[in-house]
Amino acid sequence: MRPKAVWEPDYHRVFLDLCVEQTLQGNKPRTHFSKQGWRNILKSFQEQTGVTYDRMQLKNHWDTMSRQWKIWRRLVQCSYMNWDPETNTFGASDEEWAYYLQENPDAGQYRCSVPQDLEKLTVLFEGGSNVEVEDDEVLGVRKRLRSFQEDDDEEEDNQSMCSSSNPQTKGYWSPSTHELFLDLLVQETEKGNRPDTHFNKKGWKTILETINENVSVGYTRAQLKNHWDCTRKSWKIWCQLVGESSMKWDPETRSFGATEDEWRAYIQENPRAGQFRHKEVPHADKLSIIFSGVIEPGETYTPPTRKKHLRGRSCESPQDEANLMMDSEAGQPLDVVKLMSEGMLQESPVCVEIGSAKRMYCIGECIESLDAMKEVEEGSELYLFALDQFLKREYREIFLELKKPSLRIAWLQRLQSAALS
């Protein structure tokens, strides 16, 4: 397998200058260079840099540049972003940026700076970009038409359309309408209409009817599901960002401690995270409920089978149960074979239910249980500390699975002591 080329800034500048040179010489008739153009670029590049990249590696870098240019072109052609080519600045407000990045997260890399060598890139792509974008849009429309011919197919219902460029599929989402959408998602989640990673037909039907009763836009089912996909992707980007140790996210102050260099390095590898450079994801509390158990902030994935085993582990005393939960949360590896040999793990998974309904482990359920504990005064330090812990699904599970109020308090106090130390 051919090794991946490492594009140092100097190599990129040489490549860009050679591409401009061949374009001006007429060796790029449309969107790509002619065979003669590529031969000239390859020969000159190897002579000037001393590296032996082959033609395919150069073409891959060209394709990356082309994709980035299309992202930039869509951004500056969006009327409400108010791009001023004279000053090379956008006149869009923070809210307008939020609208755009919600649907086009890749553009986050241009939130604070324009592409380097913009004039040279304009020379390269000004002639071919429109054709490429139009082709993508036509293909996207055809795919969406095929995807929604059969509404009864759940697999097709769950397909992502977030990358669509078609306004009819995207729709317009103001901040108030987006918040209403999230409120409805929370309601349907708590009703149990999101059995796994997506909502069922009943949930989508309720959301569609309710949102159209409250706004005059008249959204379609496709627009709702497209906005769901975009919301999910945005939340995933946020969760990965706050989980990255180098970014130093502080949940107490709701801010990052990363340096400018660390931000620059992270955004270079994860350009979509640029949308969160100066503000956190809106409505994080609601999103944590909606995607609970699917996408968690700052947490690694825990296989469901392991969670079931942990719930099925029997303990001789309440203190043993609390210690088990603490060991699991602290990330200590559990020797499953040893535990089974000691009779502390059941071989068959245990399904946790309340009456006939499965628990959702949502924040609201935890707060309701906390309020019912007379031993914890509302507004006290321990009460507020518990609210912070409920942001993590694993902590919500532990809190609700501990049956006795005294055990819950002991567990919370232990967490609080560990945090203070």
Tokens 């590049």 -> residue? 45
Residues 108 and 182 in one domain: no
Give per-residue burial for 391-402: e unless 16+ CB within 10 Å, then b. bbbbbbbbbbbb
- The last residue of one of the domains, among 85, 106, 126, is 126
Give the C-alpha distances (Å, rounded to integers) separating 300 from 240, 296, 326, 329, 394: 10, 8, 17, 12, 11
Domain boundary among 291, 306, 335: 291
Q: Is residue 380 part of a domain?
A: yes
190 and 265 inside one domain: yes
Residue 14 inside a domain? The answer is yes
Owning domain of residue 277: 175-291
| pLDDT score at 43 | 92
Query: Among 84, 158, 154, 93, which Cα is nearest to 114's?
Result: 84
- Assigned domain for 158 exists: no
Asked whether residue 122 falls in the same domain as residue 179, the answer is no
Amino acid 268 reads: Q
C-alpha gyration radius of the chain? 26
CB count, 10 Å around CB of 185?
23
Least Cα distance to 271 among 72, 108, 71 occurs for: 108
Distance, CA of 38 to CA of 26 (rounded, Å): 12
Give yes or no: residues 103 and 180 share one domain: no
- Which pLDDT does position 298 carry in this prediction? 57
Q: Is residue 313 part of a domain?
A: no
Q: Give residue 261's identity as a one-letter amino acid code.
A: D
Residues 286, 199, single domain; the answer is yes
Q: Cα 144 to the chain's mean position, in Å?
A: 22
Q: Could you give the number of structural domains in the chain? A: 3
- SS3 of 320-370: HHHHHHHHHHCCCCCCHHHHHHCCCCCCCCCCCEECCEECCCCHHHHHHHH
Domain-terminating residue out of 126, 141, 156: 126
- Do 121 and 182 sit in the same domain of this protein? no
pLDDT of residue 182: 93
Residue 74 is assigned to a structural domain of this protein: yes
How confident is the prediction along the chain (421 residues), in pLDDT tens digits per residue? 556 678 888 889 899 999 988 888 888 877 788 999 999 999 999 888 888 889 888 988 998 898 889 999 999 888 888 888 878 888 888 888 888 888 888 888 888 788 888 888 888 887 543 333 333 433 343 343 344 333 333 333 333 334 444 444 556 677 788 889 999 999 998 888 888 778 888 999 999 999 888 887 788 888 888 888 888 888 889 898 888 888 898 888 888 999 988 988 888 888 888 888 777 888 888 998 888 877 766 543 333 333 444 444 444 444 444 444 444 444 443 443 333 334 443 333 333 433 334 456 788 888 888 988 888 888 888 988 898 888 888 888 889 888 888 889 999 988 888 888 6
Whether this prediction's pTM lies above 0.85 is answered by: no
Verify that 190 and 274 share a domain, yes or no.
Answer: yes
Domain annotation covers residue 412: yes
248: in domain: yes
Alpha-carbon distance of 399 to 64, in angstroms, equals 48
Same domain, yes or no, for 75 and 179? no
Residue 259 within a domain: yes
Residues 108 and 29 in one domain: yes
Q: What is the predicted pLDDT for the residue at 123?
A: 85
